Amino acid sequence: MDEQYSSDVPVLSAAAAEAVLDRAAQITAAGMPLAAGLRASAAECDSWRLSRGLKSIANEVERGRSLEDCLAISIRRLPPHLVGLIQAAQRSGAIAPMLVEWLQNRRAARAHWRAIVAALAYPVFSLLMAIGVYILFAVEVVPPFKQMFEEFGLRLPAMTVQFLRSCEVAPPLLAFLGVGIVATAVTTRVFGGRAGWSWLISSLPLIGNAWHWTGVAEMLRCLGLLVEQRVPLPEALRLTAGGISDAYVGGQCQALARQVEQGTSLTMSLVKLRTLPLSIVPLVHWGENHDALGLGLRSAAEMLEGRLNLRANLLGQVLPPILFITVTMAIASGAISLFLPLISLIQGLS
């Protein structure tokens, strides 16, 4: 029966699998008939994969299985971080409420990250368009001007000389830089896996800290949830490591678990590790000293989420005018550089 069930379950994406878990957990937590609720949810789904996943669990529930048994059987067909999520929920003894809150934490983390991406979308798109126009200008417009200057034997201002040199060097340099960025990203993703990819994004300017804070905030909320369920701290750290979407932060959870098992407090482990924001240390320290570690972890997560909101607002308000001024000055300097020799030529001819 186990094999029949596992063969009936479709291979779901991470988002679809999370949606299946979320709906099943919400129906169970609300005390509704699970099979009927799953079939009703399946009928409302736009995605056939999601609908099929919900129906497959409903079939097994009607055969007498519990939600816990269904999830345990389907573990091998889920993404790794969802496997950790289910194991953490099963360890708590209250699988439906745990899954609901855990997935809510994940959605909150994604919402913060989407706010950062939305704030950067317009400036990044505008910058790429400006770079494209600059390359087109350097390749198609500047060469005829340079040829004309050479034919007339004009003495060029320093500003024009520098601009012509930049138009010669910049296009191949930008192309090389673009190829290097793509190659680095592909290599990191292939050989570094999810953890390497997360580390790479965390190292980027502007968005690196926001990405890292998003993963740490999700980690803190999930760890706090397990601690409040009286799960031992080393085990809670390991379960959190497997149940969050940021694999790099998950690796840091594993390192923290090893130190805590050796008798080091979570506070001192964070200080020794130094890969997670040290600003969360005072709140974690307060939670350990007052037997309220779960509250301290949640407070630290709220602090990071407040920073994320502030960063998103700041990027959305500051970057567009800075980019507009920069592009305007670049266009003006390019036009002046090309027309200064022509003005000198016209004056000489007159």
Burial 249-267 (b: 16+ CB within 10 A, else e): bbbbbebbbebbeeeeebb
pLDDT number for residue 236 = 85
Residue 39 pLDDT exceeds 80: no
| Percentage of residues in the chain having pLDDT higher than 70 | 80
Q: With a cut of 60, say whether residue 241 has pLDDT above it.
A: yes
pLDDT band at 123 (very low <50, low <70, confident <90, very high): confident
- The pLDDT of residue 303 is 92
- Residue 204: both structure tokens together: 């980027």
Give the least confident one: 52-56, 73-77, 115-119, 336-340: 73-77
What mean pLDDT, rounded, does the chain reach? 80
pLDDT for 62 beyond 50? yes
Q: Which has more pLDDT, 9 or 234? A: 234
Query: Is the pLDDT at 280 greater than 90, yes or no?
Result: yes
* φ and ψ at residue 170, rounded to 5 degrees: -65, -45
Who wins on pLDDT, 240 or 256? 256
**CB within 8 Å of 234: residues ≥ 6 apart:** 257, 260, 261
Is residue 207 within 8 Å of 120, Cβ to Cβ?
yes
Q: How far apart are CA 40 and CA 47, in angstroms?
A: 14
Residue with tokens 């350097």: 138
pLDDT at residue 54 tops 60: yes
What pLDDT sits at residue 1?
A: 37
From the number of C-beta atoms within 10 Å of its C-beta (0-12, 13-18, 19+), residue 340 rates as middle
Mean pLDDT of 51-55: 74
191: its two tokens: 């050989």
Tokens of 183: 């190659």
pLDDT of residue 68: 60
Radius of gyration in angstroms for the set of CA atoms belonging to the chain, rounded to a whole number: 28
Is residue 3 scored above 50 in pLDDT?
A: no
**pLDDT above 90 (res 256):** yes
Q: What are the tens digits of pLDDT across the range 68-109?
A: 666 655 555 555 556 666 666 666 666 667 777 777 777 788
- Region of poorest pLDDT, from 24-33, 90-99, 285-294: 90-99
pTM of the model: 0.74
Chain segment 316-341, per-residue pLDDT in tens: 888 888 888 988 888 888 888 888 88
Longest dimension (CA), the chain: 98
